[in-house]
A and B are shown apart, each in its own frame.
Chain A
Amino acid sequence: MINKNEVWETIRMLQDQKLDIRTITMGISLRECADPDPGKACRKIYDKITSCARDLVKTGRAIASEYGVPIVNKRIAVTPVSVIAEASKTEDYLCFALALEKAARETGVNFIGGFSALIHKGFTKGDARLIQSIPSALSETELVCSSVNVATTKAGINMDAVREMGHVIVETAKRTSSRYGIGCAKLVVFANAPEDNPFMAGAFHGIGESECVINVGVSGPGTVKAALEKVRGADFGTVAETIKRIAFKITRVGQLVAAEAAQRLGVSSGIVDLSLAPTPEIGDSVARILEEMGLESCGTHGSTAALALLNDAVKKGGVMASSHVGGLSGAFIPVSEDEGMIDAVEKGALGIDKLEAMTAVCSVGLDMVAVPGNTSAETIAAIIADEAAIGVVNNKTTAVRIIPVPGKNVGDRIEFGGLLGSAVVMRVNPFSSRDFILRGGRIPAPLSSLKN
C-alpha cells in the first residue's frame, strides 16, 4: 500500500518542482516511401506518418490526464530523409521538408525530426542534396528539425562535412534573420548521433530501428534541486546518493508512460532517455543544480566536476528504473533553454570555452549557443570540429546547435520564445581557423576505436 508521505512527495514533485515528461516521440520508418517520382514519394511519406501517428497526440493527452503527469511535447522522428529521397529524381529536397511539415500539422505534434543525413565518413548524392536543401527547408517550415552526423568514433571526423555545415549554419541564419536566425535552433550537428533519441532538434529514426516505436524523454531538474536542498553541506557521497534516488523516481514515471503509450498505440516500446531536460522556466534549470552543490554561479571553477557527478548519478539512478535506456541519456546544458545558464552567461560567469569543457562530461554539447552574426563559417566549422573531437575520442555523443544571430553582437539578448528561451550572444575566439578548416579530408578514427 502506498503511504501518505509518498503520495505527497509525488504531488509536490509534479506541482511545485515541475516534474514532467518532456516528450513522447514516435519513431516512424519511411523506408517503404522511396520513389523515383518525388511527388509520389512525398505523398507516401505524408500518408505513412499521418497513419502511424494518427492517435499520438490524443493518446499522449489521455495518459497525461489519467496519471496526472504532464506530457509537454508529442513529436515524430523519421528515417533520415537523405536515405529516402535519394531514389527520387530531383535536386531540391525542400518538397520533402514540406511533406514532413504538412504531416506534422495534420497529426498535431510539436516537432518532426529527421530531415537528416549520416555523413560521418562520406557523402552520397542524396546526402549532398539534402545538405544543400537544409537552409531552405528550415526557413520555409516551422516544425521540421534537421540533424547531420559528421563524425563517429569508428569513422573519425569528416572534415569536409564539418566545413560544409559551417556554411549551412551561416546560410540558415541569414534566411531566418528576421527571427534572430531561429532556423539554426532546429539544426543539430552530431558526432556519434544516437538512433533512438527522443529529443529535438536531433531526433531521427535510425536505420537499425523497427517500423514504428515510442521513445520517451523525461525532465525534472527542479526535483533534483529540491532534493539537494535537503542535504546542504553534506559530502559528495550523499549528494550522489540523493540524485540517484530522485533520478530513479523520475525515470520510473517515464518508463510507465513509455510502456503505456506504446501499448495503447500498438507499437513497440523503445527506450527511455534519462536526460534531465531543463526549460527556461524558473525552477527547471540544470545550472541551478550545480549551484545548489555549492558553486556561486554555473560556469565557475568546479562546474565540470559538479556536472560530471550529476550526469553519472542520474544514469545510475535511472538505469534500474527503465527496461531499456537509450537516446542521449545525460544532463542537458542548452544555454538559451536554461534560466540558470542564461543568467550565468549574462553575469560573465560562463563562456563558450568552459561550456565546451562541460560538454566532455555530459550530453549533449554546445547546445543553443548564440554567437555574433558576423562569425565566419570557418569559425563555426572549427567549433563543430572541437566538439566532434571530444565526442569521437571519448566515445560519446556530442553535438553543436549554434546560432550566429544576424546583426547581433556579444552581450546582446535575444528572445526566441517558448521552450527555445532567450539567449545572450557569447564571445567566440577572434583568431582565425580558416586554413585549418580549408584542408578538408577526414581526421582518422582514434586508436581507441580499434577494439576488435
Chain B
Amino acid sequence: MSAAERPKKEGAEESPARRAIITVVGRDRVGIIAGISAFLAESNVNILDISQTILQEYFTMMMIVDLAGSKMDTDELREKLVASGESLGLSITLQLEQVFKAMHRIDAL
C-alpha cells in the first residue's frame, strides 16, 4: 500500500488491526478452506474467525481476517483471491469490516 492510500488517522483506529471480511460462495468440493487458508497464510494474513455452512449443495463461508501484516494491498489481495476462486468456481469477496459495522450498528463510526 502506498503512503497516499494508507489512512492518516492518528489514534482513531480501534486497534492496529485491519480487520476485513472474506466471503466465499460456490459448489462444495474438497479443499476449498485449505486452498484459501494456504493462500492467506502465504500472504501473511491472519485468520481470526471462520464459519461455514452448506446450503443446498452450496458452500458458503465467512472469514474474519486481519490484514495488518498483509504482504499485498487490498486491491491485489482481492484480485488474487477472486482469480483463485474463479478457477474453483467460487465467488469471493473481500471488504474491510468497517463497512458492515457502519451498516448494521448504530455505534459511532
Contacts and interface: CB of A to CB of B under 8 A. Distances in A.
Contacts of A264: 4-5, 7-8
B62 A4 contact: yes
Interface string A57-76: 01100100111110000000
A260 B96 CA distance: 12
B106 interface: yes
Interface residues of A, number: 30
B109 A266 contact: no
Contacts of B51: 4
Interface string A32-69: 00000000000000000000000100110010011111
A252 B9 contact: no
Contacts of A59: 4-5
Given A67-B96, A256-B98, 12 more contacts: A2-B64, A7-B21, A7-B23, A15-B93, A62-B5, A66-B75, A66-B96, A68-B93, A68-B96, A249-B104, A253-B102, A263-B7
Contacts of A266: 8
Contacts of A10: 95, 99-100, 103-104
Interface of B: 4-5, 7-9, 21, 23, 49, 51, 60, 62, 64, 74-75, 78, 93-104, 106, 109
A255 interface: yes
Contacts of A67: 95-96, 98-99
A344 B89 CA distance: 40
A6 interface: yes
Given A58-B4, A65-B74, A6 B99 contact: no
Contacts of A9: 104
Contacts of B21: 2, 7
Contacts of B106: 320
A6 B100 contact: yes
Nearest to B22: A7
A259 interface: yes
A255 B102 contact: yes
Contacts of B95: 10, 66-69
Interface in A229-264: 249, 252-253, 255-256, 259-260, 263-264
A65 B99 contact: no
A431 interface: no
Contacts of A11: 23, 93
B78 A65 contact: yes
A226 to B, nearest CB: 15
A4 B62 CA distance: 7
| A4, A9, A15, A66 — most chain B CB neighbours (10 Å) | A66
Contact of B94 (A2, A62, A68, A263): A68
Contacts of A320: 106
Contacts of A255: 102, 109
A165 to B, nearest CB: 41
Most buried by B among A65, A252, A253: A65
Given A66-B74, A263-B7, A263-B9, A256 B102 contact: yes
A252 B109 contact: yes
Contacts of A15: 93
